Every structure is written in structure tokens, then in C-alpha cells.
Amino acid sequence: MIYLNQGWSQNDREWYYNFSQGSAILSYDIFLNLEIANGQELFRSDANSVRYGLIPGAPNWINPDGLPIGMSKTTLATAIGDWPAGDYAGPTCAACHETQLNYKGKRVRIDGGSANTFDIQAYIQALNAATRETLTDAAKFDRLATRLGAAGPEAKAKLRERFEHQAPAIHQYATISSASPSPWGPARIDARSLINNRLTAILPGIPENTSTAIAPVKPPFLWNSPHGLWTQWAAYIQSPLDRNLGETMGVFMPINLHAKTPAEGLYDSNAAIPELQRVEKQLERLAPPSWPEDVFGKIDREKAKTGKALFMEHCASCHNAWPYRWSEPNKYGKRFVLVGLVPQSYMGTDRAQSEAIRPFAVTGQFSNHLPPQFRGKYVVPMYDLARTIRIAVEEKAVAKLNPTPAELVELNGYRELPQPPIPDQVWKAAPRDGVWATPPFLHNGSVPNLYEMLVPTGERSKKFCITSEFDPIKVGFDTTCGPNTFVLDTSLLGNTNAGHSFQDGPRGNGVVGPLLSDDQRWALVEYLKSIPEEPGRVTPYGGPPETSQPQKP
């Protein structure tokens, strides 16, 4: 395994790979001993994890059972809604934000990168199949019971009762919340639909609010994310607490959305806010990865110099470039990296993400807990219902910590609250340092390599295979198809590879730059391979030291 200089120690990596963010998908002992469907191999085995694109993990101080990277053990000290106290297995950040690039037998680890091989939709579907088959196949259930030491009829009955209580949540996630007209495939996830469905439809039991998950996007890389003025592909959020806790709400964090009032447990959750703050602080000092020339080949520095000039001319006004353009200091003395907010109509890329969520929601039991302008109404804008639930869960979790005003400011990443209005129908264009390590490209992962990002839309691959092998020439996936490789068809809903096109014609409607010569394209690819120009370069959080003077909140 080859680790690059990204500013983290081995201890940092190991903690990030398997810390608990509060998610609880299945009892831990059951998860460790569950068999796959149609076989006796353990579901958590390295071979099965690799089958769905997870990276195997070695036993260590935080991962004693050798779970794959991105899975962790969560302990509920007390019951929360339908979740009894106990130990659970659940996903964590690294499942969707960790990369491994394979090339000629060498494996390069990219911490905080896009999960380029993990197929979360297929993984959950396989877990659902495994749980349902175990509950219906007597021999399979008996083998599970034997592994868990449940020998007698009473012990088996208790195990079955516990298992049957948990299985429906996995089934709903696989067959309702993440169901889509066509498979997402590796490296993509409709996270926005998953979060929204879980908060407004699945957990509260209001199926009318379900949105079909038609908008898979690739998980973004995490270096420089804490430093950016806006995060998320469409620039929804500034506060890291909102962002990180919202993500956890979408992936099996226990939340009570059935109780009638907050006093009776409504909005209780297993929010692991101290852990989410720790990971955010750790990400603040995560450096973008530098191209390993001893693995992928030497960078042509003269060609990269030509590419840098082209990038500054055609790309930097949106994407920014080191040492970056920064916002003015806010009242806490903090500055943030400016990110381009480009109208989606100008960019011309796939717009399924902005169209997937249902516009209106049935309020159900939340009707009397809404903001005054919506209180007592049966139907409200979906955004307002989801936001009300999300904020109520967050506020209740924060209140349990009883932070000081200064601690609360730090939890929110020194952002001024309330945040400004969400920009309407834009895509966020962030700095490109380290982008070479994050295929596939565009927000929906519909372009296999950086070279194709620089050609007219009509010349891009209409179909390509997603593999685990890296292509250091075009910089992206080796798209050679083989057994069990996933074919991404860009003609399907949510998969459009249009837009962000360099071609002749007026700017806008998908055209972002002029038609480039082939030499210019290769020069730009070479430049993108070369940044960051200094290995291990960590962006100063809050702005360069001489201009960042935090004030007392």
C-alpha cells in the first residue's frame, strides 16, 4: 500500500477509517456473523466487501474486528425510538470518502478522496437479500445462531425477534429510499434523496413524501472542504455541523420521529457531535494528494507550465487557484476560500439532482411543530418540512452538550448564522488541487477521465466501464470492460455527460470555454496532475495567518 503525503499520521488515518459517526444499521454481533445470500461466506468478509467496492481494513486499536474501511461499531447507551440500547454496525464517512487507485499491481491510497469503487446501492441491496434469506432459511438462521452462541429455543427466539425488528429498516432503504429506475453503479450515490426520504418519509412513516432516487452524484473529495465558503455540489450549506450531521441522518443514524412531542422523545437521536467535530478538525489539516511520479510516471513540467497558463485563462475564474481568493474576514476574523457559483443553466450539466426531490410534503405528525407560517397545514414545501426536522434534531442534540457560546461558534466552523440564502440553481466550482485522484468526473460521475473533460460534449464516451484500475495517461478510470465491471450509460436518467464543454460557439448553455487543440488539452491534463505543486501543503483554516484574527464570539 502506498500512502501519499497528505498531512495525516497513521493514527489519523486509522481513526478516520473506522470511527463511529453514530450510524446503526444492524446489531454488531449479527453483522459480524451474517452470511451472504445464496452462500455461506460471511457478508463482512474481505472478499464480499471488495465485491461491492469497499476497501478491506486490518484489525487495529479502533477496528479490532477488521471491518472494511467505512464501517464502524456504534454503541447506543440508551434506547432511541425503535433502536434498543446495544452495539451496532454502521457506515461512517470513509465509506464514501476514501479512494484507492490500482495500477500495475500497486495500490495508492487517497485519504478523503471520492469513493471510486464503492457501490452503496448494490451493497445495501445485497445486505437486504442476506437478512431476508437468513430469516426465511432455517439452516442459514441456525448457523447464525450457532456462531452467536444462541443454542436453546429461548435464545434462538430472542435472536430472531431482535433480527426481525431490525430487518425492515434495511428492506425499506434498499427497496424504497434508494430504489431507482436504473442502477447507480460504483462511485455514485443519490445522497440528497436518501437524506430527504429518511427524514420526511421513512422514519416518520409518511410514504407519500418519498422521492425517487434518480440523481446519483459522486461523493466529493474532502480536502479544502472545511475551508470553502459553500459546500455540497449545489452550494446548499456553509456550517460544517449542518453538513456532517445531515449526512449521518441519511445513513442509518437512529432518530425518533414517531413520538408526539419533544418532551416524549421526538427528535431524539444518536448524533455523535464530538466525533463529527473531531473529523472536521482533522479534515482542516488534510492536504490534497500530490501525483506520485514513481508510480504513475514523471510529470512534464514544461507542458504543465503551459497548462497552468491555460487554466488561469479559462478555468481559474470559477475554480480558483492557489494561493486562492478568499472572502473578507467575518466577525470572527475568519476568511473562507471562494468557490465559483455557476448557474446550472450556464453549465449545462445533468440537472436531475435539482429536480429529484418532490416539491411538496405531507406534514403528518409534524404539522403542529412547523414554523408559524406553516403551522397546522397538511401540505407544505418539502424544503421547509425537511429543514424543520433537520434543525430540530440538530438543536436537540446540541442542547444535550450544553456548549458555551464560543464552543457553539466552533461547532459551526466559525460561520455566521443564519447563513445567507441558498444560491438558486447553481453548481459549486471548487479548487482543483488533487482532482487528478478523484475519477469519475462531473458532479454525477459521467465522464471517465480528465482528458474528456476538455473536449466537446459530443466527443465524450457515451458508455464506459467503471473499473478499479487507474489510467495515468488520460487520468481517470481504465475503462477496459471485463467480468463484473459496471457499464455507465450516459443516455439514462441522471447520467447525462453534457455540459462543461470546450467547443466553438457562444458561452453558456453548456459551453464554458473555447475549442482547445489537442496539445492544449494535454497541457491542461499535465497541469492538473501537477497540483498541488508542494506535497503535503495544507490550506490554512480561516485564511492566511496574517489576515485571520479570530475575535471573541
**DSSP structure string for 447-494:** B-BTGGGGS-GGGS-SEEEE-SBEETTTTEE-----TTPEEEETTSTT
Query: Does 359 fall in a domain?
Result: no
Are the C-beta atoms of 332 and 414 separated by less than 8 Å? yes
pLDDT at 547 over 90: no
Query: Does 444 fall in a domain?
Result: yes
Query: Does 206 fall in a domain?
Result: no
Residue 508 grid coordinates: 453558456
473 CB-near residues (< 8 Å, 6+ apart) = none
Is residue 430 left, alpha or beta, with left meaning phi > 0 and alpha meaning psi from -120 to 50? beta
CA distance 87 to 219: 28
Query: Does 521 fall in a domain?
Result: yes
Query: 273-284 and 10-18 are packed helices; what angle lies between their axes, rounded to 10 degrees?
Result: 140
The amino acid present at 233, given as its one-letter code, is W
Q: State residue 185's pLDDT score.
A: 97
pLDDT band at 21 (very low <50, low <70, confident <90, very high): very high
C-alpha atoms less than 13 angstroms from C-alpha of 84 in its C-beta half-sphere: 9
Burial (CB < 10 A; 0-12, 13-18, 19+), residue 423, is middle
The amino acid present at 259, given as its one-letter code, is A
CA distance 254 to 249: 8
Query: Does 169 fall in a domain?
Result: no
Query: 273-284 and 382-401 are packed helices; what angle lies between their axes, rounded to 10 degrees?
Result: 100
The amino acid present at 537, given as its one-letter code, is R
CA distance 205 to 81: 13
pLDDT band at 551 (very low <50, low <70, confident <90, very high): very low
CA distance 67 to 25: 14
Q: State residue 484's pLDDT score.
A: 84
| Residue range 323-366, pLDDT digits in tens | 999 999 999 999 999 999 999 999 999 999 999 999 999 999 99
Q: State residue 501's pLDDT score.
A: 98
pLDDT at 472 over 60: yes
pLDDT band at 552 (very low <50, low <70, confident <90, very high): very low
Are the C-beta atoms of 88 and 73 separated by less than 8 Å? yes
Nearest Cα to Cα of residue 467 among 447, 483, 450, 446: 483
The residue ranges of DSSP E strands in 42-159, in sequence order, are 71-76, 86-91, 98-103, 106-111
Looking only at the bridges linking them, the beta strands covering 2-3 and 106-111 are: parallel
Are the C-beta atoms of 71 and 91 separated by less than 8 Å? yes
Query: 153-172 and 120-136 are packed helices; what angle lies between their axes, rounded to 10 degrees?
Result: 150
pLDDT average, residue stretch 95-115: 97
Are the C-beta atoms of 48 and 41 separated by less than 8 Å? yes
- Name 86's bridge partners: 76
**Residue-wise burial string across 513-541, b where 16 or more C-beta atoms lie within 10 A, e elsewhere:** eeebeeebbbbbbbbbbbbbeeeebbbbb
463 CB-near residues (< 8 Å, 6+ apart) = 487, 488, 489, 490
Q: State residue 553's pLDDT score.
A: 44
pLDDT band at 545 (very low <50, low <70, confident <90, very high): confident
Residue 382 grid coordinates: 418539502
Query: Does 339 fall in a domain?
Result: yes
> Peptide bond preceding 532: is omega within 30 degrees of 0, i.e. cis?
yes
Looking only at the bridges linking them, the beta strands covering 486-489 and 476-477 are: unpaired
CA distance 4 to 96: 19
Are the C-beta atoms of 22 and 270 separated by less than 8 Å? yes
150 or 547, higher pLDDT: 150
Question: How much of the chain exceeds pLDDT 70, in percent?
Answer: 99
For 154-168, 363-377, 425-439, 515-529, which range has the lowest pLDDT when averaged over its residues?
363-377
pLDDT average, residue stretch 226-238: 96
Average pLDDT, rounded, for the chain: 96
Query: Does 522 fall in a domain?
Result: yes
For the chain, the residue count is 553
- Provide the residue range defining the domain that includes 306: 293-347+425-530
Element (H, E) at 502: strand 501-502
pLDDT at 548 over 60: no
The residue ranges of DSSP E strands in 363-474, in sequence order, are 379-381, 426-429, 463-466, 470-471
CA distance 195 to 178: 10
pLDDT at 546 over 70: no
Looking at the structure of the chain, the number of domains it has is 1
pLDDT at 550 over 70: no
Query: Does 440 fall in a domain?
Result: yes
What's CA 386's distance to the chain center, in Å?
19
- Name 343's bridge partners: 426
pLDDT average, residue stretch 45-68: 97
Three-state DSSP at 82 gives coil
| Residue range 248-301, pLDDT digits in tens | 999 999 999 999 999 999 999 999 999 999 999 999 999 999 999 999 999 999
| Residue range 139-191, pLDDT digits in tens | 999 999 999 999 999 999 999 999 999 999 999 999 999 999 999 999 999 99
